[in-house]
């Protein structure tokens, strides 16, 4: 939270001095990168902010043509009103091709007097070094559970929603540092029932309860492969979870299972990473997850003769 506060303070100083460099925001989804860019434009330009600010999503148009035409045409025109420059916000800039990024670098150089760029990305390593060196880079971390809870309770109060304590805890678990996901979960659950509890949150977000995943892991580690396989089948078929989601929850839960020694956890995390990679590459989800449970059984030593 301290890091986020320092970031806000430095960005605010740009607004106060009206001296904005090219910026690059990097971090996971739902942590305020787009909101920060829009806030800067609104504070700088006031009523004319929409005329001096344009937002493009690089994942929609990721080729060199979007740089040569849309971006260049906006950058070359003069600012509206008393503004000294315009702002181009390029969301998901890490989706741009290398050729498009090279063209963007030249555009940033040529029109720096009339235009500033704010780039947003999840992975800064996918942005070429010449662009990174021209930007002030700000790294956004996940939103803390305390901040998520504070905002959820504020929205619930303003919208007159009845949310239980375990409902708030479920939202924090589901959000995992993503404020957008937290608010969407709250809104979706509010459409189903007047009272928002943990069951409503887990149901609407297609998320398994943490204790279910911990029991799945514990059963497998203790050698009860049949029971853990049955529970896995329920998660895949009855609850409709995807294999990728289950792997992610297993990874989060394995640290909380007290039956597994730390050394064994290290070995199992390696297997979880391998399973995640295979599922991402298109392997059969059920086979890979059952193979992962088998690794837990073998790691428990029940069948190691």
Same-domain status, 196 and 90: no
Residues 196 and 223 in one domain: no
Q: Are residues 32 and 120 in the same domain?
A: yes
Shared domain check, 60 and 113: yes
Q: Answer whether 246's CB lies under 8 Å from 236's CB.
A: yes
Would 304 be classed as within a structural domain? no
Tell me which of 90, 112, 139 is where a domain ends: 139
The CATH number covering residue 170 comes to 1.10.8.60
Paired with 184 in beta bridges are none
Q: Please state, in angstroms and rounded to a whole number, the distance separating the CA atoms of residues 48 and 195.
A: 42
Angle between helices 285-299 and 243-253 (to 10 degrees): 20
Asked if residue 305 is part of any domain, the answer here is no
Domain boundary among 114, 139, 164: 139
Burial-class residue 42 by CB neighbours within 10 Å (0-12, 13-18, 19+).
middle
Global pTM reads: 0.80
Residues 290 and 199 in one domain: no
Q: What are phi and psi of 202, to 5 degrees?
A: -65, -35
What is the span of the domain harbouring residue 158?
A: 145-204
CATH number of the domain that residue 248 is part of: 1.20.272.10
Asked if residue 177 lies in contact with residue 143, where contact means CB atoms within 8 angstroms, the answer is yes
Listed residues 139, 159, 192: the one ending a domain: 139
Structurally, the chain folds into a number of domains equal to: 3
54/41 Cα distance (integer angstroms): 10
pLDDT of the chain along its 305 residues, tens only?
A: 444 556 666 777 877 887 888 999 999 988 989 999 999 999 888 888 888 898 888 666 666 666 777 778 788 888 887 888 899 898 888 888 888 888 888 888 888 888 899 999 998 889 999 999 998 999 998 999 999 999 999 999 999 899 999 999 999 999 999 999 999 999 999 988 878 999 999 988 889 999 999 999 999 999 999 999 999 999 998 888 899 999 999 999 999 888 888 899 999 999 999 999 999 999 999 999 999 999 999 988 665 44
Per-residue burial over 131-156, b = 16 or more CB atoms within 10 Å of its CB, e = otherwise: beebbeebebebbebebbbebbeebb
């Amino acid at each position: 939270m301290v890091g986020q506060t320092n970031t806000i303070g430095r960005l605010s100083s740009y607004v106060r001095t009206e001296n904005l460099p090219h910026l690059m925001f990097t971090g996971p989804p739902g942590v305020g990168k787009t909101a920060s860019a829009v806030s800067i434009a609104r504070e700088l330009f006031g009523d004319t902010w929409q005329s001096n600010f344009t937002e493009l999503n690089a994942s929609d148009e990721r080729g060199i043509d979007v740089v040569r035409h849309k971006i260049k045409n906006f950058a070359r025109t003069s600012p509206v009103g008393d503004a000294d420059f315009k702002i181009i916000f390029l969301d998901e800039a890490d989706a741009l091709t290398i050729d498009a990024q090279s063209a963007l670098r030249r555009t940033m150089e040529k029109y720096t007097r009339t235009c500033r760029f704010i780039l947003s990305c999840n992975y800064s390593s996918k942005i070429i070094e010449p662009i990174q060196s021209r930007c002030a880079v700000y790294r956004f971390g996940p939103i803390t559970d305390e901040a998520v809870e504070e905002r959820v309770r504020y929205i619930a109060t303003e919208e007159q929603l009845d949310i239980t304590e375990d409902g708030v805890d479920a939202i924090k678990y589901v959000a995992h540092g993503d404020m957008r996901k937290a608010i969407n979960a709250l809104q979706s659950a509010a459409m189903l029932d007047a009272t928002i509890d943990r069951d409503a949150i887990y149901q609407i977000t297609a998320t398994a309860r943490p204790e279910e995943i911990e029991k799945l892991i514990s059963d497998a580690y203790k050698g009860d492969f049949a029971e853990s396989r049955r529970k896995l089948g329920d998660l895949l078929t009855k609850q409709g979870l995807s294999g990728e989601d289950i792997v992610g929850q297993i990874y989060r839960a394995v640290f909380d299972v007290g039956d597994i020694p730390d050394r064994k956890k290290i070995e199992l995390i390696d297997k979880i990473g391998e399973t995640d990679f295979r599922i991402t590459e298109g392997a059969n989800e059920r086979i890979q997850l059952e193979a992962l449970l088998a690794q837990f059984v073998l790691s428990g030593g029940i069948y190691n003769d």
